[in-house]
Structure 1
């Protein structure tokens, strides 16, 4: 297919992620490609009612819901490449159903492989459009993944074992090869996991990694102040020192707290 006659729909609520997709498209095809862009289910629905597309690049979480709901409502024959931060459960579900899926943060090579998968399926005539049964299986996989987020930690102390409920954690901070959890009462607890492992275990609706070494709980944010170099100072309940977003996470953090 001549890409100069192609039209693509991009469903992505995050502006930097959208810009990254466009950049990868330009790199892959060697020049700009005609496309429409929507950040919401409602706007995406209008695009799909009024247009047909050669393929769709879609995040799962949009500003007003999940893209699966959009594909439930409108029968889409176009191939869809999903780009999302949802991991294990969803990744397995996509692979089982033969759908191209790029896990955020993805590289240019990941993107290239996904587009090549789309092209080969298209040329062979073996692309199966997304049906409601498949969509519901994927929605179920998301729910299963959400059910698997960490609910409590077992803390070993000299007097025995203590349980720390995740809902009570205000801050998780890296400390060498392990982390320290501070609860809303200001008490600290050692957790024998690295910050990268904990990031994947915590529910992203409640917890946000504001910099390389700290994860905060949205329910214990008391104040947020602007700081220099596009950073934010955050006061958390039970934590004496204010914590700070990195300049690279501030934009995503602002969107996260408005969800």
Structure 2
């Protein structure tokens, strides 16, 4: 088997590094052609580098939008393996060159299986545009289930206490410490990073507003229009810092609120 040249589209640097490390452990011959952290940079790179890659590992939710927007702006003829924390994007993923769908947090076995599927579909005897059995792949995706955190065990005054996830109004990070603020105005230090929390929380209930905040839908009281197309989210209990949604993420936030 010929080792593919891989492009990684992932906005979390730690996740990108973990994926590169896993790929290299599975196949030392794999070449990382590029690591792209955003929709904009991906569009720019794919526009002029058609012949420089064989396979794409792509996150779906990026800092400046959803990765499906990349396909609207540039043609990607090579196969794509989607790696994401959310399984509700299955159908759009497979409409955009998807040959597999790996849920975060991923393990080596899942990435190995996805690589094997790539080699099975795109061997030397087959052109790179051969379509996989989409019906079978979608049937496989429909069986995927994702369980989300119902509660967290947190340290509080020399004790460990359970805190229900739906009772947390918002998570906030400052100085590399992550805090959970509950609906009854209690605050706890979390042992997870914001990226880890984003993978463990139900996306129907929680939204990553920006680098500092993950917010609970049920705690939102109103949303105001802010400068330059941004949105200001008011939440109860109210944090000391204003919660802003960027112009780029505003459509995704409004869609989430409308669900």
The aligned counterpart of 2:190 is 245
Confirm or deny: 8 A CA contact 2:38 2:62 kept in the other structure.
yes
Output aligned runs, 1:176-195, within 5 Å. Answer: none
Q: 2:165 aligns with which of 196, 203, 215?
A: 215
Could you tell me which runs of 5 or more consecutive residues in structure 2 were left unpaired when the two chains were aligned. Answer: 155-161, 198-209, 214-243, 246-259
Confirm or deny: 8 A CA contact 1:91 1:101 kept in the other structure.
yes
CA shift in 2, pair 1:98/1:68, >3 Å: closer
Could you tell me which runs of 5 or more consecutive residues in structure 1 were left unpaired when the two chains were aligned. Answer: 142-195, 201-207
The aligned counterpart of 2:25 is 27
CA offset digits 1:58-90 (Å, max 9, x no partner)? 000111111111012211111111111112x44
- The Cα shift of 1:235 comes to 3.5
CA–CA distance in 2 between the matches of 1:10 and 1:209? Answer: 32
CA–CA distance in 1 between the matches of 2:194 and 2:70? Answer: 29
Normalising by structure 1, what TM-score? 0.56
Q: Larger % of helix: which?
A: 1
Output aligned runs, 1:33-112, within 5 Å. Answer: 33-52=31-50, 53-87=53-87, 89-91=88-90, 99-112=99-112
RMSD over aligned CA atoms reads: 3.9
Larger gyration radius, structure 1 or structure 2: 1
Output aligned runs, 1:101-250, within 5 Å. Answer: 101-123=101-123, 125=126, 128=129, 197=147, 199=149, 214-215=164-165, 220-221=169-170, 230-239=176-185, 241-246=186-191, 248-250=192-194
The aligned counterpart of 1:18 is 16
CA–CA distance in 2 between the matches of 1:43 and 1:210? Answer: 39
- Number of aligned residues: 181
Q: What SS does structure 2 have at the residue aligned with 1:116? A: helix
Normalising by structure 2, what TM-score? 0.56
CA shift in 2, pair 1:91/1:30, >3 Å: same
